[in-house]
Each structure stands twice: as structure tokens, then as C-alpha cells.
Structure 1
Amino acid sequence: MTMDSRSVIDALGALAQEYRLALFRLLVQAGGDGMAAGAIAGALGVPNSSLSFHLAQLRGAGLIEQERQHRTIIYRANYPAMNALVAYLMENCCAASACEGEGCAPTADERKSV
């Protein structure tokens, strides 16, 4: 999956809000099983009315997916879209200079601090 600049702007715009960023990170951590809306609301302390708005923003940007399981809607991170966004941002990494282990690939300590 590749992203064009408009899709990247939409994705970054959707993530540029405290609750949506926390929500997306929560779903990334949840893995392929995803989470029900009620569990997300409880984990983030967000009212259901606000949660619906934030979920819609992330869905509109293509960063999350939803699946109905009986009476419950399960939300999951869209990993191909997430990876495409990161790939787009890293596409020209170190194009102007040679990478020497710093800058392009985060170290284990840098990944832990994010």
C-alpha cells in the first residue's frame, strides 16, 4: 500500500489531536483482536459521544477499521495504512547524506521513549 500526499495529510491531521493519537496507539497495542468501543472508552476515559467522533475521524483517514461482531463493533488499527504512512515519512531518509546508524533507524532506546 502506498500513500499520496493528500492521504498522508488526512492521516496526520487525524492523529494531531490528543485523544485520537491515544486511541490510535491503544488500538495498535491491542493488535489484531482490536477492541470494542466500550473498552476503548473505559481505557481512555472518553465519553461515548466524543469517542464516536474520534473513531469516525480515524476511520475517515483510513487509520482504523471496524467490524461488527453480533451486537458489538470491534475497532482495529489498519496496520498497512500505518506502515504506508511511516514509509511515506521515511521515503527519502538520508537521501542527502550517508546514514551512519543515526537518524534513519531508531535505536531500541528511542523506540521505548515514544
Structure 2
Amino acid sequence: MEIINAIASFAALSQDTRLKAFRLLVSQEPEGLPAGEIARQLSVPHNTMSAHLSVLARAGWVVSKRQSRQIIYRASLSHMEAVVQFLLQDCCAGHPELCASLMEILSGCETAKLNNKDNL
């Protein structure tokens, strides 16, 4: 990822509603949510939410797919991964033990998924 792309990505998330929408979509993976449901859950007018989702889509944070009359939005986990890789590219100057707590946090996502499956 180039710095200019990273800056555009961060700019898209640097607004309250867009950040909340992205976090909501991450929590709804892999199913995603219709645009209207995102607007409802965040108490945002539909046309305003549509504009925010467009900004997130242009920056790569969300993808959409039409299902009959609805557009379903999903978080782009591959884009999130690319941004995290960009941030960590030169991490720890060859001392991975310095990043151990960060790696533990990142691996916690998979642990949480496994725990949720066990509780179903």
C-alpha cells in the first residue's frame, strides 16, 4: 500500500458516522447489512448514510452487492488487513517480542470467533 492510499483510507474513517458504520459492518461479517439497516442502527437519515457508505467504498473499506431490491454492505476485511500490514510493515526493528501484545490482540479476533461458535 502506498502512503497516498493509506492517507485516503484514514481520511474516510476520520468521521464519526463512517467509523461507526465500518465497525458495525465488521461486527456483522460475513453476512453484512442492508444500507437501510445501517442507517437505522446508527440513527442516520438514509440519504446521509448512503453518502457515507459511498466514501467508505471509494476508500476500500466496504464492498456492496445488490440482493433483489436491497444493497448489502460488508466490511472489506482484506482492505483492513492491508492497512494493518502497512502500519506494521517496519514494526519492532527486528524485535518481534516488542510486538507480542499487539499480536495477541490481533489473534484475539480469531479466538472470539471460535468462542462464539462454541456457544451456539
- Is 1:8 the counterpart of 2:6? The answer is yes
* Partner Cα separation in structure 1 for residue 80 and residue 41 of structure 2: 22
Over residues 31-87 of structure 1, what are the superposed CA-to-partner deviations in whole Å (9 max), with x where a residue is unaligned?
A: 011000111011111111210110010001011000000000000011111100011
Give the aligned partner of residue 105 of structure 1. Answer: 102
Moved over 6 A (4+): none
Matches within 5 A, 1:82-93: 82-93=80-91
The DSSP-based 3-state class of the residue aligned with 1:32 is coil
CA displacement at 1:8 relative to structure 2: 0.8
- Is 1:35 the counterpart of 2:37? The answer is no
| Correspondence for 2:92 among 80, 91, 94 | 94
Give the aligned partner of residue 68 of structure 2. Answer: 70
The DSSP-based 3-state class of the residue aligned with 2:95 is coil
Q: Which structure carries more relative contact order (alpha carbon 8 Å, separation 6+)?
A: 1
Task: State the aligned residue count.
Answer: 107
| Correspondence for 1:48 among 20, 26, 46 | 46
2:83 is aligned with what amino acid?
L
- Which structure has the highest helix share of the two? 2
Whether the 8 Å CA contact 1:24–1:77 is kept in 2: the answer is: yes
Whether the 8 Å CA contact 2:92–2:98 is kept in 1: the answer is: no
Give the aligned partner of residue 18 of structure 2. Answer: 20
Whether the 8 Å CA contact 1:94–1:104 is kept in 2: the answer is: no
Determine what percentage of the aligned residue pairs are the same residue: 39
Change (3 A) 1:5 1:102: closer
* Partner Cα separation in structure 2 for residue 89 and residue 76 of structure 1: 23
RMSD: 2.0
2:57 is aligned with what amino acid?
R
* TM-score normalised per structure 1: 0.84
The DSSP-based 3-state class of the residue aligned with 1:51 is helix
